[in-house]
Structure 1
């Protein structure tokens, strides 16, 4: 009897900890604050700081950082020379070495290297690789623009985004103009890459980039001409790719449906889907086989 009473007491205590009286509904409800693990205030604070500022924890000393940036710049200049000699594969290797040496938290320097590597991939027609590298570069530039509070319209000096390599050194602190100039150059590269990749998603991404580029004040006249031409050429390509991919998808769904319906002596041909143009809704009619 004592044992049973003890178990009942423990059971009741556990129920009380997991439920609470709600005065508005006049009923017991789960006590959600008991369902989540509690971290001590100090531990919770440290956990958040590690997530938000983890990059700050791995910074090199100023002396070491300067040394790494100098070494990075030497490699970058060597890769630029290889690019000028049309040795694009070798240039990619040297740019990659520079990225591996450059401190990862130096977003501008890494973004320039990745954008230049994207330019190399464009030259050897590796479109997907070029698009990915350009995206990586743009993501870092966006971080810098948020930190600096920069705005796209602040960069009014025209630049040619068709230049093959960024020739500035990597040892200076970038200003907003430099960041936005690099953003324009890199977005042109990504748009070109995606327009060559083809397919609905890639073509739409290229069109979006060209639309954004058309609004940028720092676009050179040569690049603006390219942008305007692509904004005319891309929409029909997007429409054609969309129609093809939707047709392929419907064909696959029909094949899957036929596989499911076959044991019942039916096929997707027994069903007719109609769209109500007024409401946009669909209805399905069953047609028995002959």
Structure 2
């Protein structure tokens, strides 16, 4: 089988401030425990060094060994550093995708997304739409409430007013906000990568449930891209999808409904075949068979009804 395209690329965590992490079977770090800055830096340096080895193996297309090495990087990294965990797991998903290990790709990408969700939860769509509608109505009616501030103000990259404590230096605060926005951009970039990899694996797995999951992932990717390209809030532009990936998303969404229906009919047919075999074993002592029972599909609902025919053979 050919490798899925476009080829996945590795993700790298920023080197300053350092942060790459995950827990593993070899070394367990209690989730409630935070290491001292010195110990954390030591563990992180070890993890980063191991990750660099894995990156080299990936570049050499030794994906199986790269996975093992990424796992070692995870084991030496504190398990409360969710972003760094997500980077490593996203890279592991890329390796599995190349190896066509669809289920492992799905698992690794899902774990990466769970780590990212703790850092930057996706908003509830209905809630976001309701708030946006309410704000628009307030602007039209002239009833929008002014923003209140208790201290000096500056604007972050998402155009919302951020309050700076009166005792904090403004230059230091701006530096902190810039770093925060940069990390948010990285988080959302890795989210896009993880969603793409999981969606591709689900699509290639090609079961009824996996195709439905792929459709959900591709729909989310499209909505994130749409939000990024239709809003003036610059922080959301970090969710833009590359043109080649966007074509993949749109093509998949166009093809998936028919593929889902086909997979559903196939799996339902296999399930009914298995039930028929089981039924024949049960009914044969009574001189009956499943041929005495006629399954009729309701084309409107997709459900089935059963009719009994006494003389059927």
What's the TM-score once normalised by structure 1's chain length?
0.67
Which of 106, 109, 117 is the aligned partner of 2:81? 106
Between Structure 1 and Structure 2, whose CA radius of gyration is higher?
1
**CA distance in structure 1 between the aligned counterparts of 2:311 and 2:84, rounded to whole angstroms:** 67
**CA distance in structure 2 between the aligned counterparts of 1:197 and 1:268, rounded to whole angstroms:** 32
Other structure's SS at 2:307 match: strand
- 1:20 corresponds to: none
- 1:68 corresponds to: 43
Which of 277, 281, 287 is the aligned partner of 1:255? 277
- 2:264 corresponds to: 242
Which of 120, 125, 129 is the aligned partner of 1:145? 120
Q: Name the count of aligned residue pairs.
A: 220
**CA distance in structure 2 between the aligned counterparts of 1:79 and 1:253, rounded to whole angstroms:** 48
Other structure's SS at 1:55 match: coil
**CA distance in structure 1 between the aligned counterparts of 2:113 and 2:198, rounded to whole angstroms:** 9
Which of 224, 227, 241 is the aligned partner of 1:219? 241
1:129 aligns with 2:104: yes
Q: Deviations over 1:88-114 (max 9, x none)?
A: 222212111101111112111111101
* CA-based RMSD: 3.1
**CA distance in structure 1 between the aligned counterparts of 2:303 and 2:54, rounded to whole angstroms:** 58
Instruction: Extract unaligned runs of 5+ from structure 2.
Output: 1-29, 129-155, 159-178, 229-239
Which of 167, 175, 179 is the aligned partner of 2:183? 175
Question: How far is 1:283 from its partner?
Answer: 5.5
1:270 aligns with 2:283: no
Question: How far is 1:285 from its partner?
Answer: 3.5
**CA distance in structure 2 between the aligned counterparts of 1:202 and 1:222, rounded to whole angstroms:** 23
1:59 aligns with 2:45: no
Question: How far is 1:274 from its partner?
Answer: 4.6
Q: Flag the structure with higher helix content.
A: 1
Other structure's SS at 1:285 match: strand
**CA distance in structure 2 between the aligned counterparts of 1:262 and 1:243, rounded to whole angstroms:** 28
- 2:135 corresponds to: none
